[in-house]
Structure 1
Amino acid sequence: MNRQALKKLLKDRRALISPETHGLTRPTGRGRRAPGLSQGQVDELLGYSERTYQRLESGNYHHPPVDLLRDVARLYGMNEQEWISLCRYARGEDPPGPLYDTSGHALPAAWADAVVGITHPAYVTDASWNLVTCNDRFHALFDSGRAPVNTMRWMLLDGRDQLIDWATAWAPLVMPQLQAALAQRPDDKVLRQIEADILADPLAQPLYEKGGASIHPDGDERPIRHAVEGQGWVTMCVAQPLAAPGSRCMILVFRPGPRRTGSGPHMLKAQENGMNA
């Protein structure tokens, strides 16, 4: 727990909430003059017992429940980055999921310009793996000349002809990503439909039910047939736009020909004392 940071975050956000917007009155006469809601009014609005919020803001609530933090964050209108900070300050860990169900489906428009400027095939998807933006090099990967509307569906159902060794090199690594996403977003209609279609598919269904633990593709190298350049290997570089939890920016480094020999991806590290290797 970081008490000082927690207190500042909550106090500053509480000061921005006018009691009148929630049908409450600001105390008059002698006493409190601080702006925003009082600590007691937060308890009243959220339905918690007296001084619950005071314990939280002062840092005297050891490992407070996530439900309490979520209620406070939504009352204060926090964004996803503030929500992450709140959980880290109060519990010493990242939140178990996004603050809002709609998070992960809208990104800053600057990502479109950023993706266009990347020299490798690159794209951004939202939390449901719907394509948000991509560059022309990504479009060129596909037989149709156009990127798929949903990359998860393409990898698990529609793109098998291009994904070399799909049943061993792709499906067992991608399906756990879908399962992990649904565990965090069980009401996502797009992902639920993809799951239903997988369970109705005789090739995909047994692989999906087998499950797996690999849910992060960053640094993976997988075989693929490029629509223009032929067979080769694509190395995946993954980043997440911070404003949209669950979204992802993928940069695909394609290399035609056979797989390189080696024991795994090369790992980069910061150089000590600012010296280059």
Structure 2
Amino acid sequence: MDKGALQWLLRERRALIAPEEYGLSRPSRQGRRAPGLTQSQIDQLLHRTHGTYNRLETGNYPNPPEDLLRDVARLLAFNEHEWSLLWLYTLHRDPPTPLHPRSGTEVRGAWQDVIDGISHIAYITDQSWRVVTYNKAFAEIFPSGRVPTNTMRWMLLAPEAREVLMGWDEHWLPMVLPQLRAAMAALPNDETLAGIEKDVLADPVAGPLYEAGGGSYIHPDGDERPLLHARLGPGWVSLCTAEPLSSPRARLMVMIFRPGEERRHTGPAILRAT
């Protein structure tokens, strides 16, 4: 536990919350000069035992439970960066889920400039694989000329996908199904994903494979797969993924297309310069 950094983070955010916002009065006793909510007021607002928040802020609460961290973060109006810091400072790991429900469904506007500046096929999807934004190179993949609203649904269920994604049942389906399963485990209440899973289970090809439950594949970063480009013909794509840090479970996908029947293996891992 990084006690110094944790104390600074919580004190700074606590100082920004006026007690009057919650119908509380600002203590007037002598020596009380710190702005914002008091530690005991936070216990009161969170319905916690007196001294609970003090233990957390001072770093004397080993292994604080997730519900306490989440309640404190919401009361102190943390953003996703601060939520991650709270976990890193207390438990030395990333939070298991985002703090705010919409964090995985939207990305900051600057990412549009990123997408527009990429010459390779590029797009961003949210936590449910709904397409947030894409570039012209992505739109050119599809014979229909229509970009799917949800790439997970398209890959698993669209007839067009079984033509565009060459070797669909060998190179794509066994890799995509575990991603859906992992997403359902992480977001069991996501209605979009639940709808996709329902339709996959009803599919005569994808359904039995999904029910079998095999595979531990959760992301395509670095993969090479065959693809039939609507304009450039058959080839292979190298898949590269990244996550906008302020949008947990959203993903940036860049697909580097190389025309031709022959697979071109990517090089070794990039190491730091020495």
Q: TM-score, normalised to structure 1's length?
A: 0.94
Cα distance in 1 between the residues matched to 2:56 and 2:210: 42
State the partner residue of 2:211. Answer: 209
State the partner residue of 2:242. Answer: 239
Cα distance in 2 between the residues matched to 1:29 and 1:11: 20
Cα distance in 1 between the residues matched to 2:2 and 2:212: 41
State the partner residue of 2:255. Answer: 252
State the partner residue of 1:80. Answer: 80
1:195 deviates by 0.6
Residue type at the aligned position of 1:246? R
State the partner residue of 2:223. Answer: 220
1:266 to 258, 264, 268: 268
Residue type at the aligned position of 1:76? L
Cα distance in 2 between the residues matched to 1:102 and 1:195: 21
1:265 deviates by 5.3
1:81 deviates by 1.2
1:108 deviates by 1.0
**CA 238–261 in structure 1, closer or farther in 2 if over 3 Å, else same:** closer
State the partner residue of 1:275. Answer: none
3-state SS, counterpart of residue 10 of structure 1: helix
Cα distance in 2 between the residues matched to 1:210 and 1:224: 26
1:261 deviates by 6.0
1:224 deviates by 1.2
3-state SS, counterpart of residue 160 of structure 1: helix
Matched, 1:186 2:188: yes
3-state SS, counterpart of residue 161 of structure 1: helix
1:200-238 per-residue CA deviation (whole Å, 9 max, x = no partner) reads: 111111111223211011101111111111111111111
3-state SS, counterpart of residue 149 of structure 1: coil
**CA 205–169 in structure 1, closer or farther in 2 if over 3 Å, else same:** same
Cα distance in 2 between the residues matched to 1:3 and 1:141: 51
Cα distance in 1 between the residues matched to 2:264 and 2:121: 23
**CA 176–83 in structure 1, closer or farther in 2 if over 3 Å, else same:** same
3-state SS, counterpart of residue 163 of structure 2: coil
Residue type at the aligned position of 2:250? S
Aligned length: 271
Q: Confirm or deny: 8 A CA contact 2:124 2:133 kept in the other structure.
A: yes
1:107 deviates by 1.1
State the partner residue of 2:130. Answer: 130
Q: Confirm or deny: 8 A CA contact 1:220 1:265 kept in the other structure.
A: no
3-state SS, counterpart of residue 192 of structure 1: helix
1:259 deviates by 4.0
Cα distance in 1 between the residues matched to 2:262 and 2:59: 53
> Which blocks of at least 5 consecutive residues in structure 1 are unaligned?
273-277
Cα distance in 1 between the residues matched to 2:46 and 2:181: 33
Cα distance in 2 between the residues matched to 1:233 and 1:100: 38
3-state SS, counterpart of residue 141 of structure 1: coil
Residue type at the aligned position of 1:5? A
Residue type at the aligned position of 2:176? V
